Amino acid sequence: MVAEIRASTVLPARRENIELHTADGLTLVGELALPENRPPVATLVCLHPLPTHGGMMDSHVLRKASYRLPALADLAVLRFNTRGTTSERGTSQGAFGDGEDERFDVAAALEYAEFHDLPQPWLVGWSFGTELALKWGRDPLVAGAILLSPPLRRASDADLDAWAEFGRPLVALVPELDDYLRPEEARTRFARVPQAEVVGVDGAKHLWVGEPSVRIVLDEIVKRVNPAAGPLPTRV
């Protein structure tokens, strides 16, 4: 039976609840989704939008990545709630740190990936999560970063310069109708990073609402992280 992949589609995967432990003594809750019958070829470490505005590990693009990409692209998808953030999975200890204390959260996720031999970790940040990736994601373990709707507010030109020196791939998916940073300005800001690629997405908005926007995002992620698996099917 062939069925269209819809917003609510959950494809087979090995899913387990996990905990991350930060260097400053907090326990963060999360989930790891793995391909059902084979090892992953790469790993997405997901950094969610702003928790003070409803962002969490279940923010829809990240949730749909975990529902689809283990089965469709052989990717491991690690999602977690940053400090003080609540979702259906539970509440991570601590309190919102305005992007500063969250440096320990990013480090804990990468430490988990390394300890569990998760291959080729790519950071996938969305909005606030892009700031965490740019500021705190320059770890030798990281293969690259994909930024969804980067506002470039907390992340400064100094952070961009540091990523330029870091040398790892950086891809920014920028909605045409974004509330904070649109493609033309994004190209100017990211020009400081020679290896950065800015992809403007026509008609899209900051929250990537709607199945067409989600499919664009997931296809662009897979194109960078496991190109052999793209373009993703729309039916299974």
Domains along the chain?
A: 38-228 (3.40.50.1820)
Using the 8-state DSSP alphabet, how is residue 233 labeled? P
Q: pLDDT tens across 140-160, in order?
A: 999 999 999 999 999 999 999
Q: Which residues pair with 235 in a beta bridge?
A: 4
pLDDT of residue 2: 83
Q: What is the rounded average pLDDT of the residues 163-181?
A: 98
Q: What is the pLDDT of residues 27-55, one digit of tens each?
A: 999 999 999 999 999 999 999 999 999 99
d(CA 54, CA 37): 34
How much of the chain, in percent, has pLDDT values that exceed 70?
100
Which pLDDT belongs to residue 1? 63
Distance CA 78, CA 110 (A): 10
Average of per-residue pLDDT across 72-87 = 98
Q: What is the pLDDT of residue 88?
A: 97
SS3 state of residue 143:
coil
What average pLDDT is seen over the chain?
98
- Confidence band, pLDDT 50/70/90 cuts, at residue 69: very high
51 in Cβ contact with 85 (< 8 Å)? yes
Question: With the C-alpha atoms ordered 148, 152, 155, 157, is the resulting torsion angle positive or negative?
Answer: positive
Q: What is the distance between the alpha carbons of residues 27 and 106, in angstroms, rounded to a whole number?
A: 13
Given a cut of 80, is residue 215 above it in pLDDT?
yes
